[in-house]
Chain A
Amino acid sequence: MCLPWLPAERLARQQKSAQPEPLVLVANDRGRQIIRACCPAAAAEGLHPGLALADARAVLPGVRVAPHDPAGDAACLDWLADGATRWSPMVAAAPPHGLLIDISGCAHLFGGEASLVADVLTRLHRLGFTASHALAATAAAAVALARFGQARVADLPLAALSDQEPVQIALRRAGLKRVGEVAKLPRAAVAARFGEALLAALDALTEAAPQPLDPRLPVAEIVAQQRFAQPIATTDAVRATLEKLLLRCAVQMGARGVGGRLFALALYRADGHVAHVAVETAEPQRDSAVLLRLFDERIAALNDPLDPGFGYDLVRLAVPVTHALDETQLGLEGGQLAETQLAELVDRLTARLGRGRIRRLVRADTHIPEQASFDLPFAASAAMNWPRPAPGEPPARPIRLFDPPQPIEVLAEVPDGPPRRFRWRRQVHDVTAHEGPERIAAEWWRRKDGAGLTRDYWRVEAADGRRFWLFRHGLYDREPGPPRWYLHGLFA
């Protein structure tokens, strides 16, 4: 599919204006306003991209002008590509104007290639987009054919091979006009004269080296979908459909002995919009009742509630991530049951709060306290072994850690000695007991410059019984700058 007027039509669609008034989209280029895109009406008057706006106004004084927004156009193309997954799972956007749909093996579902193309064009037209199309064996060829409106690859102009002006001029000077003529030449000579890039472009157009399509979404092996002649719009209907699809997916997964880790529900609205809802599980899962409840949670927690508009005419459930899952029997002892309950709790909380909200503490092999222990998302972490503290000793590490450490003012009897009094959060604490220093050097073996200050940690108890973890950053006389004090953690 090629959508040559995408930028202008997107704007017209946004502003809901249907008048055929000429419109050009301009961008600043070195102080001049240059036309980047225009609408068919403007093109008919002789305006074209690359023209200065002043020249265009001379030709057509009443032309409407709007700023060009390439990011918005790309987003719009992505949105269209999303909607195009109704025809085939293999869909890719080919910026700036192209939309690639791999229909191998899909066309018969829509009554043949011709009716599939007609369906695509009708739906795009309803959205307000004019499209030209081409069917070809390779993606590059399809884009080029649709763009230049040719039927055969050999008839394509030289611009299909390279959009660089010097290369095109060089080809033209050699007396070549069409891609077919270039293809007939000896390959070695073409490579020597025009470069390897041209040969690669030629191969992509012919079937010599087809470039695989890079689909927008990963293509799932397990998919179930339901089409509706009459779009469904109520929550109950969607839920009932989802339940049916979950059951069908469960049958497929059971046959393969796998369970899903990710379930992606796509709701295709009749007007081209697609809503996506995904649910992730911690353990492979194929129990439709559990999954239905997870979807309920997820849908209830959505920031923008599902808006069915005029209804959904296609609902598809895909399982892109699967893991081996054997038929299990509930363990007789409670262990298995507790594991299952916890996994379900994690799934429900993840569905409700979002990914990465449940975290587990992990440790790293370093002496720097703030890096030695941190939290990671549940899915990315595993249970680890922690060193057991020596029996009979008081805790050497605080329960809560400030990251970054909080600067404090400290009074000590001797510069190198323990703190005697310190001020933290506008409150003065008198130190009644202390232990230290525990010296932690900067990790000079990891840093190239070998910089970093030594820290002397003190465990101190204040007069009111609170215990703090303080450190002096830097050594007197041996390290640059006067040392500063910080409060790093709170004990019980």
Chain B
Amino acid sequence: MPSVARLVPPVSARVPAAAGRVALDGGRVDAALGGGLALAGCHEIYGPAATALALMLALASARSGPILWLADPRGDDGRLYGAGLAELGGDPGRLWLVAAGAALPMLRAAAEAQRCAALACLVIEAGSAAAVDLTVTRRLQLAAAASGVFTLLLRAGPPKPSAALTRWQARAAPARRLAGNAPGPPRLALTLERQRGGPADLYLELEWDRDRRRFLPANTIAQPAIPIGAAFGRRAADVGRVPAVAARRTPRPATEIRAA
């Protein structure tokens, strides 16, 4: 199995993120965002992979300091799991959880946290709280821009009016297959639905590089060919017997991978 590092194009081919921004695909989408996702701002995320994207963005921002996580009191998707965060490449000790209990205390705590520039990231798990309206998001955005605290607002769909810099829909995308038909590193299918003063409606698939804490565009990573009909019950020994197929594979665009 070739390692991720060898499959990624050389670093020189990737456009590095501008200062104070975090790189996503290092290409088209980053350019549309003005050089990456702005750290000094409030960004809205919804969808089944919102938690994962928020944690990955916080790690990719490469800021020191704790990640303050204001947890949704009504969330029913389980608790944040320290060992899982460690497996994403983060230090679980840096994740500080705040159980505010209700939407209003949570927003007050968020305002308090946004004044503290020593935070690496502030994640507000708003869920479907009705209290988070246009005014609140505008306040969050202004405070984030003023203090530079990277603010992520996790919401339950469907989208509501908001003054955040960007809005993302985050879903899981099928991962690369490893030996034995095992799912590979996490892959996310992101849609930039809205961007204030910029192009939107962009789709991209990113793979999370845990060891270097960065995103890799999925379409630059070669997908090992999997013989059709062999999705189930494959043994590790079978994989080694198809070198000819593996040698012929070429990078394919993201849409094709999704169709596969």
Interface residues of A (CB under 8 A from B): 337-339, 341-342, 344-346, 348-349, 352-353, 357-363, 369, 372-375, 378, 383-384, 386-389, 391-392, 394-403, 413, 417-418, 420, 432-435, 459-461, 464-467, 489-492
Interface string of B54-86 (1 = CB under 8 A from A): 011000000011101000000001111111111
Q: B221 → chain A, closest Cβ, in Å? A: 13
A359-B95 Cα distance, complex, nearest whole Å: 9
Complex contacts, A337 vs chain B, CB 8 Å = 118
Known: A357-B100, A358-B97, A492-B208. A413 touches B172 (CB 8 A): no
Interface residues of B (CB under 8 A from A): 3-4, 48-49, 51-53, 55-56, 64-66, 68, 77-89, 91-93, 95-101, 105, 108-109, 112-113, 115-119, 171-175, 177-178, 180-189, 208, 210-211, 231-233
Known: A348-B112, A433-B175, A492-B188. A400 touches B79 (CB 8 A): yes
Are B178's CB and A394's CB within 8 A?
A: yes
Q: A415 → chain B, closest Cβ, in Å? A: 14
Are A402's CB and B84's CB within 8 A?
A: no
A386-B115 Cα distance, complex, nearest whole Å: 29
Further pairs besides A399-B55, A435-B183, A466-B48: 17, Cβ < 8 Å: A338-B118, A339-B118, A357-B101, A358-B98, A361-B97, A395-B186, A397-B84, A397-B87, A399-B80, A399-B81, A399-B85, A459-B183, A465-B187, A466-B172, A467-B172, A467-B186, A492-B56
Complex contacts, A465 vs chain B, CB 8 Å = 171-175, 187, 189
Known: A349-B109, A492-B49. A338 touches B65 (CB 8 A): yes
Known: A373-B83, A435-B180. A400 touches B65 (CB 8 A): no
Are A434's CB and B172's CB within 8 A?
A: no
Known: A357-B100, A358-B97, A433-B177. A392 touches B52 (CB 8 A): no
Complex contacts, A359 vs chain B, CB 8 Å = 96-99
Chain A residue, CB-CB nearest to B56? A492
Known: A353-B105, A372-B83. A394 touches B184 (CB 8 A): yes
Q: Which of B49, B95, B96, B178 has the most CB of A within 10 A?
A: B96
Known: A395-B88, A492-B188. A389 touches B81 (CB 8 A): no
B77: contacting residue among A400, A413, A459, A460, CB under 8 A = A400
Are A394's CB and B100's CB within 8 A?
A: no
A398-B181 Cα distance, complex, nearest whole Å: 19
Are A433's CB and B79's CB within 8 A?
A: no
Q: A464 → chain B, closest Cβ, in Å? A: 7
Are A341's CB and B118's CB within 8 A?
A: yes
Are A492's CB and B186's CB within 8 A?
A: yes
Complex contacts, A362 vs chain B, CB 8 Å = 82, 93
A398: contacting residue among B66, B84, B117, B177, CB under 8 A = B84
13 contacts between A and B (CB under 8 A): A357-B100, A360-B93, A361-B95, A375-B82, A394-B183, A397-B86, A401-B79, A401-B81, A435-B178, A465-B171, A490-B51, A491-B84, A492-B52
Q: B109 → chain A, closest Cβ, in Å? A: 6
Chain B residue, CB-CB nearest to A414? B233
A336-B172 Cα distance, complex, nearest whole Å: 40
Chain A residue, CB-CB nearest to B174? A465
A358-B53 Cα distance, complex, nearest whole Å: 23
Are A399's CB and B116's CB within 8 A?
A: no
Known: A353-B105, A384-B93, A389-B86. A400 touches B100 (CB 8 A): no
A330-B113 Cα distance, complex, nearest whole Å: 22
Q: B220 → chain A, closest Cβ, in Å? A: 17
Complex contacts, B77 vs chain A, CB 8 Å = 400, 490
A432: contacting residue among B171, B174, B189, CB under 8 A = B174
Are A403's CB and B93's CB within 8 A?
A: no
Q: B242 → chain A, closest Cβ, in Å? A: 17
A362-B80 Cα distance, complex, nearest whole Å: 12
Complex contacts, B101 vs chain A, CB 8 Å = 353, 357
Are A395's CB and B210's CB within 8 A?
A: yes
Complex contacts, B117 vs chain A, CB 8 Å = 341
Q: B107 → chain A, closest Cβ, in Å? A: 12
A369-B178 Cα distance, complex, nearest whole Å: 24
Are A400's CB and B183's CB within 8 A?
A: no
Are A388's CB and B187's CB within 8 A?
A: no
Are B81's CB and A360's CB within 8 A?
A: no
Are A489's CB and B78's CB within 8 A?
A: yes
Are B118's CB and A395's CB within 8 A?
A: no
Complex contacts, A383 vs chain B, CB 8 Å = 93
Chain A residue, CB-CB nearest to B113? A345
Chain A residue, CB-CB nearest to B177? A433
A38-B175 Cα distance, complex, nearest whole Å: 79
Known: A357-B101, A360-B93. A386 touches B84 (CB 8 A): no
A348-B91 Cα distance, complex, nearest whole Å: 24
Known: A353-B105, A361-B93. A373 touches B82 (CB 8 A): yes
A401-B86 Cα distance, complex, nearest whole Å: 14
A435-B79 Cα distance, complex, nearest whole Å: 23
Complex contacts, B99 vs chain A, CB 8 Å = 353, 357, 359
**6 interchain residue pairs of minimum CB distance:** A492-B52, A373-B82, A435-B182, A492-B186, A395-B87, A361-B82
Q: B195 → chain A, closest Cβ, in Å? A: 23
Q: B68 → chain A, closest Cβ, in Å? A: 8
Are A389's CB and B210's CB within 8 A?
A: yes
Q: A9 → chain B, closest Cβ, in Å? A: 40
Are B175's CB and A392's CB within 8 A?
A: no
Known: A345-B113, A394-B186, A492-B52. A400 touches B84 (CB 8 A): yes
A398-B51 Cα distance, complex, nearest whole Å: 11
A389-B90 Cα distance, complex, nearest whole Å: 10
Complex contacts, B113 vs chain A, CB 8 Å = 345, 349
Chain B residue, CB-CB nearest to A487? B78
Complex contacts, B100 vs chain A, CB 8 Å = 353, 357
Known: A398-B84, A434-B182. A360 touches B98 (CB 8 A): no
A394-B210 Cα distance, complex, nearest whole Å: 8
Q: A64 → chain B, closest Cβ, in Å? A: 45
Complex contacts, A413 vs chain B, CB 8 Å = 232-233
A399: contacting residue among B68, B88, B185, CB under 8 A = B88
Complex contacts, A434 vs chain B, CB 8 Å = 181-183
Complex contacts, B178 vs chain A, CB 8 Å = 394, 435
Are B83's CB and A375's CB within 8 A?
A: no
A461-B231 Cα distance, complex, nearest whole Å: 11
Complex contacts, A403 vs chain B, CB 8 Å = 78-79
Are A363's CB and B186's CB within 8 A?
A: no
Are B183's CB and A461's CB within 8 A?
A: yes
A359-B99 Cα distance, complex, nearest whole Å: 8
